[in-house]
């Protein structure tokens, strides 16, 4: 799913409980291969390369040669995407955790975190603009296992709650991403935070602004990264929701720092919203 564009980083970050972002038009995404273990493309109709024609092919060849080492799992993007963790392939059940790539309906996004709610249900969270209540959810790392859950609701902070199947294994460690704590005070300005998403992998940058509801930071994010966990060390402080300016999102490392900052809801605000609303996701805890 394309990152939503939030007009005015400061204004978006300061608006209490306003919707984090309006969904931008979807840019086609399609995972390809992994460095860890081979994996086929996600079987979602209509997900094609964003580049086309002879000129697009030429640009693609140049950026492939000059981008970060592969895999480049989302066509048209040239950062190193996470591979499929071996434990995901070897597990007898589907596995969902922080940074799992998810196909929500027809959109590619990234899981923020997975765990249990107060009723003991297995749940996951991602960005709200990735889908709508009732949309089926599959893992892009294990599409052959079929549906792993369904979106139950979308909140005002642009978060989506996914009710996972009882057979799904939820984990606080997925590949190289481990969540050791949840929420807490927003990170101070200039604190380095990092996110891991299916499109641009692990990228880090300084916090530009943080309020109780939103964090704006200058790290790379692009289509497919929506929902990715934002970590301060091992502490989950937020998620990826959108870009805060009209500058381009990250496509290739050749851009350097010439990309839009990323804005997202804080985990503390998301958890408070889940608890206040009740139902699936309320009382969330790590596995």
Give the pLDDT confidence of 110-133 residue by residue, as tens digits. Answer: 999 999 999 999 999 999 999 999
Token pair recorded at residue 164: 């996972």
Q: Has domain 177-267 been given CATH number 2.60.40.10?
A: no
Contacts of 125 (CB under 8 A, 6+ apart): 111, 112, 113, 114, 159, 160, 161, 162, 227, 239, 270, 281, 284
pLDDT digits over 175-206, tens only?
999 999 999 999 999 999 999 999 999 999 99
Residue 56 pLDDT level (bands cut at 50, 70, 90): low
CB burial readout 138-147, b (16+ within 10 A) else e? bbbbbbebee
pTM of the model as a whole? 0.82
The number of angstroms, rounded, from the C-alpha of 166 to the middle of its chain's C-alpha atoms is 23
What's the CA gap between 169 and 122, in Å, rounded? 8
pLDDT digits over 140-188, tens only?
999 999 999 999 999 999 999 999 999 999 999 999 999 999 999 999 9
Tell me the domain boundaries of the chain. Answer: 45-76, 177-267
In the chain, the percentage of residues whose pLDDT exceeds 70 is: 80
What's the CA gap between 284 and 282, in Å, rounded? 5
Mean pLDDT of the chain: 84
Residues 26 and 42: beta-carbon distance below 8 Å = no
What's the CA gap between 171 and 75, in Å, rounded? 28
What's the CA gap between 199 and 204, in Å, rounded? 14
**In 3D, which of 61, 17, 3 has the Cα closest to residue 213?**
17
């Amino acid at each position: 799913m394309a990152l939503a564009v939030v007009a005015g980083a400061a204004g978006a970050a300061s608006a209490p409980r306003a919707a984090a972002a309006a969904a931008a038009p979807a840019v086609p995404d399609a995972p390809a291969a992994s460095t860890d273990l081979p994996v086929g493309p996600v079987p979602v109709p209509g997900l094609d390369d964003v580049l086309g024609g002879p000129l697009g092919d030429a640009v693609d060849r140049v950026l492939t040669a000059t981008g970060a080492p592969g895999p480049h799992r989302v066509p048209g993007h040239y950062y190193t995407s996470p591979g499929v963790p071996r434990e995901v392939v070897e597990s007898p059940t589907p596995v969902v955790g922080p940074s799992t790539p998810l196909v929500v309906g027809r959109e590619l996004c990234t899981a923020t975190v997975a765990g249990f709610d107060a009723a003991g249900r297995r749940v996951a969270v991602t960005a709200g603009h990735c889908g709508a209540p009732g949309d089926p959810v599959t893992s892009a790392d294990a599409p052959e296992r079929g549906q792993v859950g369904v979106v139950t609701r979308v909140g005002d902070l642009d978060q989506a709650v996914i009710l996972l199947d009882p057979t799904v294994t939820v984990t606080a460690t997925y590949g190289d991403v481990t969540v050791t704590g949840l929420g807490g005070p927003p990170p101070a300005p200039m604190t380095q935070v990092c996110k891991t998403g299916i499109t641009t992998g692990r990228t880090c940058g300084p916090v530009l602004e943080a309020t109780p509801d939103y964090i704006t930071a200058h790290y790379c994010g692009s289509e497919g990264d929506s929902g990715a966990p934002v970590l301060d060390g091992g502490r989950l402080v937020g998620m990826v929701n959108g870009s805060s300016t009209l500058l381009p999102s990250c496509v290739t490392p050749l851009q350097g720092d010439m990309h839009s900052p990323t804005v997202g809801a804080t985990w503390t605000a998301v958890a408070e919203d889940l608890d206040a609303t009740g139902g699936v996701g309320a009382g969330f805890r790590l596995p």
